[in-house]
Structure 1
Amino acid sequence: MSPHLEPARPHAPSAVIWVGFIAMCVGMFMAILDVQVVATSLPTIQQAINIDPDQMSWIQTVYLIAEVVAIPLTGLLTRVLTMRWLFVASIGLFVVASAGCAASSDFSELIAWRVVQGFSGGTLIPAVFSAVFILFPNERQAIATTIAGVLAVLAPTVGPIIGGWLTATYSWHWLFLINIAPGIVSALVAWRFLPLQKGDTSELRHLDGASLVMMALALTSLELGLKEAPTSGWISPYVLSLLAVSLVSGAAFASRSLGRMRPIVELRHFRDRNFLVGSALSFVLGIGLFGSVYLMPVFLAFIRGHNALEIGTTMLVTGITQLITAPIAVALEKRTDPRLLSALGFALFAIGLAMSAFQDPRSDYDAMFWPQVVRGAAIMFCLLPPTRLALGTLPAAQVPDASGLFNLMRNLGGAIGIALIDTIIYTRSEPLAQTLWDRLRAGDTAAAAFVGAPAGTIAGSAGGGFSPDTIAALDPLVQTAASVQAINEAWLIVAILTGCALLFLPFARPVAPPQ
């Protein structure tokens, strides 16, 4: 085991270690929050600095690409800089980039700073989760994982309300400026309280530049392909080219990495059965977690017409439920086989997702309350046990690399899940609208009730069709209802995919709960 990655506290950690770890969690929270608060206010940013509407999505895309490239490099950077200095450097760079974003006056300047922001923020999540197993003994890891997990999944939940409030009350600049004070404080606290370890700069002498380029190219082209696939088509030449580049580059990277003694990313971790199962669960969680956080704002904004603040208020139900159930998850995680808890969590999460697949155009807070409660209660059981399965039995020296891969799988699952959701919404809305028109012309009262057609509108329409005035009045209702049905289908597909996590669990080896 490398001496610089020895667990900092083999027994009960002191309050000093807890303070340093919480500082890391705050930095991670700000990085995750940044993605969501910016997403809710893209139109405001677009108008403020005169960005073409078709370029607006790049503000998020470049951040996510830089983030996904940085995540698997966390292990290498930890070995070189040590956990303490990696975090301080990353959060410091994130603060500088946030200030740069706030001061940007044109599109290219903002994009450049977002790349820096995404790369620096990308290392923070795996660094925090690897810290759980490096800093703490077994009996404290469940609590530490819970603190990190609650903040990691709470940030996307509260992001819309914070972003909406900041934009409405102040200006879009504060979407970035809010990162500065917490970032500086967390950097200073981590520098003061995290343990001092010895880095291994020899890693830089053995750095495989070709592998680094291949990995970056594979992940970048995959992210771009997934972004473009729903609108351009999965079999369009552009998308197929991007996916082919990703596949070839990824295969070349994997082949080169497996043949080297000191690879950039240690892919051999996937030979560990429990790490493989835990990573598969992380991938599936990404589909369900990112998918639900994406689908709710889409419905509330485009179907119900709510603003970001109202959307955030509705989505707080999930976050509050998470906080309430977190102590229960910690207590059970200490005493129960993580395979059983994972099964409970993913089954419950899939049910909560499926409960949202029966919305109509008038669904709002009340209809979304109980599905959110079920999902919120399930999330910690989908995060804590798989994390222990994947990372809990590995030597401390292997945890940073493994944590990067584990968290990368969740992000890739989220990217694929959102691409699948967009594909369903884009491709299914039109045929569903046509089906609704056919049902209305046939005098189907259930279809009329779902659409919200005024009473008597379809009376006598069977065989005779609708008048032009009636068609004009019904068309917006039908289009909205078709969009709701497409969103419902997306909820159902995401629920089914999330339930597939149960298929992986029988392949995991038993893991004793921490004592």
Structure 2
Amino acid sequence: MAILDIQIINSSLKDIQGALSATIEEGSWISTSYLVAEIIIIPLAAWLTMIMSPRRFAVCVSVIFVFASLLCSMAWNLESMIVFRVLQGLAGGALIPFAFSLILTKLPLEVRPKGMALFAVTATFAPAIGPTIGGWLTENFGWEFIFYINIVPGILMTAGLLYGLDKSPPRWELLKKGDYAGIATMALGLGCLQVFLEEGHRMDWLESPLMVTLGVIAFVSLVTFVILQLSRDNHLVNLRLLKERNFLLGSLGNIGLGVGLFGTVFVLPVYLAQIQHYNALQIGQVFMWLGLPQLLLIPLVPILMKYIDARWICAAGFLLFSSASYFSGFLSLDFAGDQFIAVQLLRAFGQPMILVPMSILATAMIPPSQAGSASSLYNIIRNLGGAIGIAVLATMLDSRAKYYFDYLREHITPANPALEERLTLLTEQLGNPESALRLLNQQVHQQAQIMAYNDAFHLIGLMLAISMVCILLTRPLPKAPLKAQ
């Protein structure tokens, strides 16, 4: 539900903006506020779990998530929606590392691939079905229903956590030993960085005084946070885990995976809407070809890992995912939903082969006592990779479209016989030369945009290929389970 709520809102953003009388720029904060709250809470989840006890923490954030979802559906203006989305992001963001750390602490290494496979279902299936569910619910019932769908599963989840997790006493004394300087610098740094990445493209990056201020605050705060974490024992997040070779390489691979997962979910819907004029439901149908096959494939990955080195499985997955992104970079006006089916199936085969083995490779050498820090770092790095990837891709689409438009315009000269032939044809169809020129200008702009989308998909493919190299450099998994420390 936490991952689903990141994507499901995108397909209904226009309807929500209209209902709340918000502009496009203002409406972007509906998504940004959730992401900022989510990335701030992820590093705090392990510390809060120790203080409250796993059972109490999980149940509290589950109840808050359901309550915040209900409040979002009742929002009466933009400000109230942003407040409720922050509350929802805080609860949803806490659930993601908590689930990941439970796998590391509750399951022995030989059974852990099955747990990671179940976790991978959420990480890949939710973004894939998000646009579909969001578009269908909004079109048939109204945007409020994209929040209502959290209520019943949320109640069932809370009941399951109450039943399945053991009772343990809280440790309120840890509040006195909290790394509050680390919490403050982390929250300020990650919050400003997330806003900088989400809103920078709309505000022209360093041309905006606000973006410059946010960038400076984020840099200073995060550098201070790193210094604090490396210079004290009661650290919020154990950054020294990055000295472990597999965890470092797995985390670097996770950056490319973040670019691939979040970047594709950003670029593909925009292309289908802008160039092919697809509505939200049609875009969702394209993504279904990615989501449904993974439900069948992910359970097979733990079985494969018994017979094949996890590094080779993961590298093969990155190769398939990278190839799918590369082949997506040969777009034309005739390349639409049907043509993306083969590409989406290629991605559907690749993603499950990445998520489960890479998580195991990265965390196999980490002792259970450090599961909280490992989970926080691993999930933050993937989210930041996605945020940075989307920011770069959004800027790239604009800048490359302008570049290609100027490039194509250089060839549109009176001396070009192809131009004269095209204008004559368009004039005959439209009845006057002015309309023909306007249509030609639109076609050149459209072609420049398509060429920019090609570059964006190729960049995603390159990042995934680099991640594949990182995984090939990791050590093989130990033959026997590591002892708890």
Query: So what's the TM-score if we normalise by structure 1?
Result: 0.87
**Alignment match, 1:14:** none
1:327 has 2:293 as partner: no
Q: Which runs of 5+ in 2 are unaligned?
A: none
Distance 1:386 1:270 in 2: 15
Which residue does 2:348 correspond to in 1?
376
Distance between the aligned counterparts of 1:514 and 1:107, measured in 2?
54
Equivalence for 1:475: 441
**Whole-Å Cα distance in 1 between the matches of residues 255 and 480 of structure 2?**
24
Deviation at 1:91, TM superposition (A): 1.1
RMSD: 2.3
**Residue 436 in 1 paired to residue 436 in 2?**
no
- 1:291 partnered with 2:257: no
After TM superposition, give the deviation of residue 199 of structure 1 in Å: 4.1
Deviations 1:215-255 (A, max 9, x none): 01110111121123323334334433322221111111111
Alignment of 1:250-399 (within 5 A): 250-399=222-371
Residues 228 and 106 of structure 1: is their aligned pair in 2 closer, same or farther, counting only changes over 3 Å? closer
Per the alignment, residue 59 of structure 1 pairs with: 30
Indicate how the Cα distance of structure 1 residues 336 and 454 shifts in structure 2: closer, same or farther if over 3 A, else same: farther
Q: Please tell me the residue identity of whatever aligns with 1:248.
A: V
2:130 matched to which residue of 1?
A: 159
Equivalent positions of 1:210-229 (< 5 A) are 210-229=181-200
Q: Please state if 1:134 is matched with 2:105.
A: yes
**One-letter amino acid matched to 2:475:** R
CA shift, 1:312, in A, is 0.5
**How much does 1:78 deviate?**
1.9
Q: Aligned letter for 2:116?
A: T
Question: What is the alpha-carbon distance in structure 2 between the residues aligned to residue 162 and residue 473 of structure 1?
Answer: 36
Choose the corresponding residue for 1:511, options 452, 469, 477.
Answer: 477
Aligned mates of 1:296, 1:325 — CA distance in 2: 23
1:63-78 alignment, distance < 5 Å = 63-78=34-49
Alignment of 1:493-508 (within 5 A): 493-508=459-474
Report the residue type matching 1:475 in the other structure. N
Tell me: CA distance 1:249–1:350, structure 2 relative to 1, closer, same or farther (3 Å): same
What is the correspondence of 1:107-186 to structure 2 with a 5 Å cutoff? Answer: 107-186=78-157
Alignment coverage as a number of residue pairs: 476
Q: Check the 8 A contact 1:337/1:512 in 2, yes or no.
A: no
Q: Which residue of 1 aligns with 2:455?
A: 489
- The offset of 1:366, in angstroms, is 2.1
Mapped partners of 1:448, 1:385: distance in 2: 58
What is the distance in 2 between the residues matched to 1:480 and 1:185? 48
Kept in 2, the 8 Å contact 1:139–1:334? The answer is: no
Quote the offset at 1:330 in angstroms: 2.0
Residue 443 to residue 213, structure 1, CA distance change in 2 (3 Å): same
Secondary structure of the 1:90 match is helix
Taking the aligned partners of 1:280 and 1:410, their CA distance within structure 2 comes to 9
* Letter aligned with residue 399 of structure 1: A
Alpha-carbon distance, 1:332 to partner: 1.6
Residues of 2 paired with 1:385 and 1:335: CA distance? 13
Q: Which moved more, 1:188-197 or 1:252-261?
A: 188-197
> Does the CA-based 8 Å contact 1:443-1:458 persist in structure 2?
no
C-alpha distance in structure 2 between counterparts of 1:444 and 1:265, whole Å: 65
Displacement of 1:365 after TM fit? 1.8
SS of match in other structure, 2:373? helix
Q: Which residue of 2 is the match for residue 94 of structure 1?
A: 65
Q: Deviations over 1:58-113 (max 9, x none)?
A: 00001000000011112112212232222211111001111111111111111111
1:380/1:199 Cα in 2 relative to 1: closer, same or farther (>3 Å)?
farther
1:49 aligns with 2:20: yes
Q: Quick one: distance in 2 between partners of 1:75 and 1:507?
A: 29
Aligned-pair CA distance for 1:293? 1.0
Is the contact made by 1:333 and 1:384 (CA closer than 8 Å) also made in structure 2? no
User: What is the deviation of 1:214?
Assistant: 0.4
Task: Give the residue type in structure 1 aligned to 2:300.
Answer: I
Q: Work out the CA distance in 2 between the residues paired with 1:506 and 1:165.
A: 41
Amino acid at match of 1:473: L
TM normalised by structure 2 equals 0.93
Instruction: Label 1:444 to 1:285 Cα distance change in 2 as closer, same or farther (>3 A).
Output: farther
Decide whether aligned partners of structure 1 residues 160 and 514 sit closer, same or farther in structure 2, where only a CA change above 3 A counts. farther
Aligned-partner Cα distance in 1 for 2:310–2:470: 13
Tell me by how many angstroms 1:507 deviates: 4.0
Do the aligned residues in 2 keep the contact of 1:98 with 1:117 (CA within 8 Å)?
yes
Shift of 1:265: 1.6
Whole-angstrom distance in 2 between the partners of 1:306 and 1:506: 39
Q: Which amino acid aligns with 1:420?
A: V
| Inter-partner Cα distance in structure 2 for 1:389 and 1:287 | 20
Q: Which amino acid aligns with 1:320?
A: L
Secondary structure (helix, strand or coil) at the match of 1:295 reads: helix
Task: Indicate the percent of aligned positions where both proteins have the same amino acid.
Answer: 34
Residues 423, 437 of structure 2: 8 Å contact kept = no
Q: Distance in 1 between matches of 2:420 and 2:282?
A: 28
Shift of 1:388: 0.7
User: In 2, Cα distance between the equivalents of 1:454 and 1:327?
Assistant: 57
Shift, 1:354, TM fit: 0.5
Shift of 1:323: 2.2
Q: How far 1:455 sits from its partner (Å)? A: 9.4
